[in-house]
Structure 1
C-alpha cells in the first residue's frame, strides 16, 4: 500500500509539472528579466514542478507593466534570483553525474563525488563565469576568479541537503537507481528542492555582501524605464562593499562543516 501511494504521488507530481513548466516557458518570455535567470526559472520549474512555477510568479514575474525594477528590488527576491541561478546551473551537472553514476553502478560515495564535481564545474565554469562574464567586463578569466568563492559556498549548502536526501531515498525506495524510471527523477527533484531551501540563507549572505547578483531587469533600449538593468544588481555597485578575507574564510568554513554534516547524515542513515 505504501508503494502504491508513493507511486501515485510521483505520477501526480510529474503530471502537474508538465502544464506548469509550459506556463513558465511561455509566460517568462514577456518578463523583462536577464535571459540567464529566465533559463534558470525554466530549469528550476522542470526540477521542482509546481513549486518552481510558484517561485517564478511570486519572485520574478512582473505584476504590472513597468514595475519589474521595483518588484524585484526586495531583498528576498534578490536572494531568490541568486539561489535560482545556483540551483539551475549546478542542477544540470548534478543530474548528469547522477545518471552516469547510476548507469555505471559506482558506489554511493563515488556517485556523490561525481555529482558534486560535475555540478560545481558546470555551475561555476558555465552558468556563472561564462554566461555572466559581461558583469566582469567581458573577461572569462576574471569572471572565473570572481565567482569561484560564491559558487563554492552556495554549492556546499546546496549539497548539504541534496546528499542526505538523495542517498537515503535511493537506499530505501525501490527503483530509485534506474534513470529511466520516475522514481529516480522524483528523488532528485526532491533533493534539488531541499538543496534550494538550504542554499537560500547562504545566498542571502552572498547577495547582502555583494558577492553574488540577484534579480535583474533588462528592457529593450527603446523602452522608457527608470533603468536598463536594476541598480540593485549592478555589478559595478557590488564593488562598493566587500567582506574581508577573514569573514569569507569563516563563511567558507561554515559551508564546509555544513557539507560534512550532510555527508555524515547520509553515511549514517543511507549507507554512503
Structure 2
C-alpha cells in the first residue's frame, strides 16, 4: 500500500532501474568486450542508480561500433567513470548489506554508519580489488591487497563522505520508514546516497587513474585474428603501486587506453598520495560529523518504528525516539476497519447484565473514519467509532468494563472525574500496568456520582486521545427529581485533527502539529448533525472537552442559554447563570439549557473562526466546530 506521494515515484523509479539493469546485463554479456569484473560492476551500479547507471554505461563504455571499444574508452573522463564504477560496485554493495543488517538489529545510526564504512571498504578492497582484479594486476593476492589499499582508501573515503550525511539525514529525517529495509524508501535513500557518493568520488578516481594508481575501463576480447597464441587482449588504465615493476600475468598483455602509465617524473609522490588520503579523510570525518548537528544519531530503526513526522515539525539532534513515535502519523496500513461515510460515533452502547453488574465491552483499534465526504482520517477508536460509544448508567450502578487492546502500542482507560478505587483510575504506570497489544483489562467499580463525564486513554495520551480514544459517560441521577428537565438532549464531544499529505497526525500545540480539521462527535460541518426542535422546546446540550489542544468558546445563536452544570456537578439554582458563550477547555464539561424562542436555523459553533473551517477553507458557510439547530414553528 502506497501511503505517500514519494512511494509512487519510487515504484516507477525501481521499474526503470530493473529495465535498465536488464538491458545493461544483456548488452554486457552479449556485445561488450570487457572483463567480467567490469561487466558486473556496471550491472550492480545500474541496479543501484537505475537510468543514471544506464546513461553512464552508454556514454562511457558501450561499444558504439564493433571493434572500436579500445578507442572509445580512451578519454580520461571515461576512465574515471570506469574506476568509480568499480569502486562503487564493491563498496556500495558492502554498505547496503551492512545497512540492512544493522537496521534489522536496531543499532544506533552512528554505529550503523561506522559498520557500513568498514563493510564497504572490506568488500571493495579484499574482494572487488584484490581478488576480482588479481589476474589483471598480476602478483599475489596479498601484494594486490597492499597495492590497492591506498587507492581504495582514498576512493572509499570520498564516496562515504557523500553517502553518510545523505543516508543519516534522510533516514532520520521526516519519513523514517527510510530506516526499514522492508520499505521502498529505504532502497530509495540508499540509491540517492550512492548517487551522491559516486559524484563526489568521481574526480578522485579520475586523478587515481591519471596517476596509474587504479584501473579504469578495459577491453578484453576472445581469440582474434592475428593473435597467434589465442591469448586474451586487455586494454585500459592499470594499477600502479610500490610493486609496479612486477611482471604482468603470464597469459595477459596490457596496453594503455589513451592514458599511458605516467612517467617516473610525473608519477605520484608519496606526499601527494598522503595529501589525498588526508584530504579525503577530513571529508569523511565532516560527512560523519554533520548529521550529528541535524538528527539524533543515537537512535536506531527500532527506536523510531518507521515514524513519519508532520510537515513543518521541528526535529533536532536531541529529539527522543519516544517523542517521534508519539508525534508520528498513523500508518494507514494498520487500519483493519474502514467505517462507512455515513457512520456516526458516540452511539449508546447497551450493557449486558451479569447478576447485578452492567457489563460493557470496549475494543481499541486503528480504523479509517470519515469526518467529511471525501475526507477520511486514520483514527484510534473504541468499537470502530469516533467518539467511542456512549456509556449510559444510573447513579449507584455496579459496572464492569472489559477493555481489549488492538492498537500497535499499549493503552489504558481513565474515567475522567469519577470517584472510584485507585486501582481502577487507569493512569498508566501509576495505578496499573498498561494494557499491551492483544491483552484485555477489566475495570470494575460502583458509580457514585451523576452528571456528564467521559472516558479516555491515559497512556500515550497526547497521541491516543488526539486520535480519537475518548467517549461520553453519562450518569443519570438515581432520583429522577434531581435531573434538570429538558425536551431534548444532545452531547457534543469536541476534537481537533491534523490531516496533511494523505496522513493523519495527532494534533498538538506545537510546530507542524497544529490542527487543520475540527469535529463535533467525529464530524466536521457540514457533515455534523442537525438538531430538530419546535418553538418553546428546551434543549440540554452537554459540552464535553474531549479535545486536547485548545480552548473552544462555544456559542449558540438565537438567545442566551442557562448554564446548569459544570464538570458533572449540577449547580444550585442561585449559581446558575445565563450566557451565550461558554469556554470549553480540554477535560471540562458544561451542561446548558437552550430554549427555542423563534423558528429558523440557529448555529452552534466555536467562536474562534479558524475552528469553523475545514483545512482552512469554509464550506457551505462554515466548517469544523459548527452544527445547526433547526427550529420549526
TM-score category, normalised to shorter length: over 0.9
Counterpart residue number, 2:285 = 260
SS of the aligned residue for 1:230 comes to strand
Confirm or deny that 1:244 pairs with 2:269. Answer: yes
* TM norm structure 2: 0.41
Q: Are the counterparts in 2 of residues 157 and 199 from structure 1 also a CA contact under 8 Å? A: yes
Q: Are the counterparts in 2 of residues 21 and 42 from structure 1 also a CA contact under 8 Å? A: yes
Counterpart residue number, 1:230 = 235
Distance in structure 2 (CA, Å) of the matches to 1:115 and 1:145: 22
* TM norm structure 1: 0.94
Counterpart residue number, 1:26 = 26
Distance in structure 2 (CA, Å) of the matches to 1:12 and 1:265: 31
Distance in structure 2 (CA, Å) of the matches to 1:141 and 1:223: 36
After superposition, what is the alpha-carbon deviation per residue over 1:41-68, rounded to whole angstroms, capped at 9, x for unaligned? 0000110011111111111000001110
Distance in structure 2 (CA, Å) of the matches to 1:186 and 1:245: 39
Distance 1:17 1:78, change over 3 A: same
Bigger drift between 36-45 and 173-182 goes to: 173-182
Counterpart residue number, 1:146 = 147
Counterpart residue number, 1:80 = 81
Counterpart residue number, 2:187 = 185
Q: Are the counterparts in 2 of residues 211 and 238 from structure 1 also a CA contact under 8 Å? A: no
SS of the aligned residue for 1:218 comes to strand
After superposition, what is the alpha-carbon deviation per residue over 1:33-90, rounded to whole angstroms, capped at 9, x for unaligned? 1110110000001100111111111110000011100000011000000000000001
Pick one of 193, 197, 200 that aligns with 2:199: 197
Kindly indicate which of the two structures has a greater share of residues assigned to helix. Answer: 1
Counterpart residue number, 2:215 = 213
Bigger drift between 99-108 and 172-181 goes to: 172-181
Distance 1:136 1:232, change over 3 A: closer
Q: Are the counterparts in 2 of residues 34 and 218 from structure 1 also a CA contact under 8 Å? A: yes
Counterpart residue number, 2:9 = 9
Counterpart residue number, 2:109 = 108
Counterpart residue number, 2:160 = 159
- Which structure is richer in relative contact order (CA contacts within 8 A, separation 6 or more)? 1
SS of the aligned residue for 2:146 comes to helix
Residue 223 of structure 1: CA displacement? 4.8
Q: Are the counterparts in 2 of residues 215 and 233 from structure 1 also a CA contact under 8 Å? A: no
SS of the aligned residue for 2:130 comes to helix
Distance in structure 2 (CA, Å) of the matches to 1:6 and 1:97: 25
Counterpart residue number, 2:97 = 96
Distance in structure 2 (CA, Å) of the matches to 1:232 and 1:213: 5
Q: Are the counterparts in 1 of residues 212 and 237 from structure 2 also a CA contact under 8 Å? A: no
Distance in structure 1 (CA, Å) of the matches to 2:6 and 2:262: 49
Aligned length: 269
Distance in structure 2 (CA, Å) of the matches to 1:56 and 1:224: 29
Q: Which has the larger radius of gyration?
A: 2
Counterpart residue number, 2:128 = 127
Residue 262 of structure 1: CA displacement? 0.9
RMSD: 1.8
Q: Are the counterparts in 1 of residues 137 and 239 from structure 2 also a CA contact under 8 Å? A: no
After superposition, what is the alpha-carbon deviation per residue over 1:161-197, rounded to whole angstroms, capped at 9, x for unaligned? 1000000010122311211211111110110111000
Which consecutive residues of structure 1, in runs of 5 or more, have no partner in the other structure? none
Distance 1:97 1:234, change over 3 A: closer
Distance 1:94 1:25, change over 3 A: same
Residue 136 of structure 1: CA displacement? 3.4
SS of the aligned residue for 2:213 comes to coil
SS of the aligned residue for 1:229 comes to strand
Distance in structure 2 (CA, Å) of the matches to 1:197 and 1:45: 14
Distance in structure 2 (CA, Å) of the matches to 1:149 and 1:231: 20
Counterpart residue number, 1:69 = 70
Residue 12 of structure 1: CA displacement? 1.2
